[in-house]
């Protein structure tokens, strides 16, 4: 791996040039900061009629279109007094170069521009036939033969720097997903989210209304407020209704019994859940027939006891 350390406190720093990594120094564990030579970015200093950096955004493509195709470029803006320092770079190109040089993007912390790292009055020898030199306040990468000035090494150029300012983070997804496709997906997705949110809110409101109307049902009928209380009332009323229906059905069964001439009900007492009947029959054997008749209604009545004596059947029934 290419690691370079200029000072023990600082992270690993690599200078990335189109020709490859400018590699000096030693290795420490941890993340890497990458300094880009001007071969990876375009730089413009301009006085723009804006107050905030974000207002520059709309002008950026038109500013850089004279240098390159601006379709896939990312931009970075720094305000320096009255001037705006404008950077344009292609994430894909940098990512590919990092990959080519064996650097895993997940090991990279931030990317810095040489413009923000190196001082204007020194010439830094990249040892690959090029030199970084400041011309009119712009750090440029020019062939070493064109520079007469004495150059310094990369270690010397960075030795007093503990940390860098104004780093950018690369759009790592750029290699996986096209930003335009992502943006195209976003619009319908936003609409779906909006529709889902509206529907959820609508159903939530409906539920609130249902809760209100639900709580008013029992009061509308002048009943206790809870379902539990009303279920208890209903079950007691149902029980009462069933008792009364059974009394009537038993009376009906007895009055419609197939008596022979000379047979009759001598005594009948019906209360809510039981009945005592005394029946005068022609003979004791008739009691069995009468019992069979009563057993036809076993779903309604239960014969608890039947005693036959002197042609009188004494029957106890539970209902």
Partner 1 sequence: MKHINPLMILAILLSFWIFFATLKSKEINTRDTLNKKIKVDENIAKEIVSYKKMWENPKFYKKNIKRLLRNLRSKKINYDKREKSNTLQLSFSKVTPFDAKYILSLILNQNFKIANLNIERADNSHLDIVVKVEK
Point out which residues bind partner 1 (CB under 8 A). 53-54, 56-57, 74-77, 168-169, 171, 173, 177, 179, 182-183, 185-186, 189-190, 192-193, 196-197, 199-200, 203-204, 206-207, 210-211, 213-214, 217-218, 220-221, 223, 227, 230-231, 233-234, 237-238, 240-241, 244, 247-248, 251, 255, 264-272
Minimum distance between the CB of residue 238 and partner 1, rounded to whole angstroms? 7
Question: Which position has the token pair 């000379």?
Answer: 262
Minimum distance between the CB of residue 53 and partner 1, rounded to whole angstroms? 5
DSSP string covering 194-259: HHHHHHHHHHHHHHHHHHHHHHHHHHHTT--SSHHHHHHHHHHHHHHHHHHHHHHHHHHHHHTS-P
Is the Cβ–Cβ distance between 111 and 94 less than 8 Å?
Answer: yes
DSSP state of 62: H
11 vs 274, beta carbon nearer partner 1:
274
Minimum distance between the CB of residue 294 and partner 1, rounded to whole angstroms? 17
57 vs 304, beta carbon nearer partner 1:
57
DSSP state of 81: T
28 vs 203, beta carbon nearer partner 1:
203
146 vs 221, beta carbon nearer partner 1:
221
69 vs 219, beta carbon nearer partner 1:
219
Is the Cβ–Cβ distance between 89 and 73 less than 8 Å?
Answer: yes
67 vs 190, beta carbon nearer partner 1:
190
Which residues neighbour 84 within 8 Å (Cβ) at sequence distance 6 or greater?
45, 46, 47, 48, 50, 53, 56, 77, 78
Minimum distance between the CB of residue 93 and partner 1, rounded to whole angstroms? 16
Q: Which long-range contacts (CB under 8 A, 24 or more apart) does 281-289 make?
A: 281/308, 281/311, 281/312, 281/313, 282/311, 283/311, 284/308, 284/311, 286/260, 286/311, 287/313, 289/258
Residue 121, token pair as written in the block: 């009055």
Minimum distance between the CB of residue 177 and partner 1, rounded to whole angstroms? 7
146 vs 228, beta carbon nearer partner 1:
228
Phi-psi region at 30: left, alpha or beta (left = phi > 0; alpha = psi -120 to 50): left
Minimum distance between the CB of residue 261 and partner 1, rounded to whole angstroms? 14
Minimum distance between the CB of residue 255 and partner 1, rounded to whole angstroms? 8
């Amino acid at each position: 791996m290419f690691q370079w350390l200029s000072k023990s406190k600082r992270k690993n720093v690599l200078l990335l040039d189109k020709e490859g990594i400018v590699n000096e120094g030693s290795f420490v564990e941890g993340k890497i900061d990458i300094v880009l030579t001007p071969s990876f970015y375009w730089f413009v200093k301009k006085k723009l009629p804006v107050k905030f950096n974000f207002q520059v955004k709309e002008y950026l493509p038109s500013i850089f279109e004279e240098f390159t195709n601006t379709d896939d470029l990312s931009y970075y803006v720094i305000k320096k007094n009255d001037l705006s320092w404008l950077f344009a770079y292609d994430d894909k190109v940098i990512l590919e170069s990092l990959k080519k040089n064996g650097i895993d993007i997940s090991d990279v912390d931030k990317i810095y521009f040489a413009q923000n790292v190196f001082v204007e009055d020194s010439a830094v020898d990249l040892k690959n036939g090029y030199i970084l030199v400041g011309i009119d306040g712009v750090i440029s990468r020019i062939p070493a033969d064109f520079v007469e000035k004495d150059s310094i090494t990369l270690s010397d150029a960075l030795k007093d720097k503990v940390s860098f300012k104004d780093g950018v983070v690369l759009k790592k997804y750029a290699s996986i997903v096209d930003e335009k496709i992502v943006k195209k997906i976003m619009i319908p997705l936003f609409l779906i989210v909006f529709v889902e949110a509206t529907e959820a809110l609508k159903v939530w409101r409906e539920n609130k209304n249902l809760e209100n109307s639900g709580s008013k049902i029992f009061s509308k009928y002048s009943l206790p407020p809870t379902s539990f209380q009303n279920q208890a009332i209903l079950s007691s009323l149902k029980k009462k209704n069933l008792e009364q229906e059974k009394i009537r059905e038993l009376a009906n069964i007895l009055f419609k019994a197939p008596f022979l001439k000379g047979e009759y009900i001598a005594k009948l007492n019906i209360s809510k859940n039981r009945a005592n009947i005394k029946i005068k029959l022609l003979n004791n054997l008739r009691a069995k027939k009468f019992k069979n008749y009563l057993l036809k209604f076993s779903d309604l009545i239960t014969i608890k006891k039947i005693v036959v004596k002197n042609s009188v059947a004494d029957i106890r029934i539970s209902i």
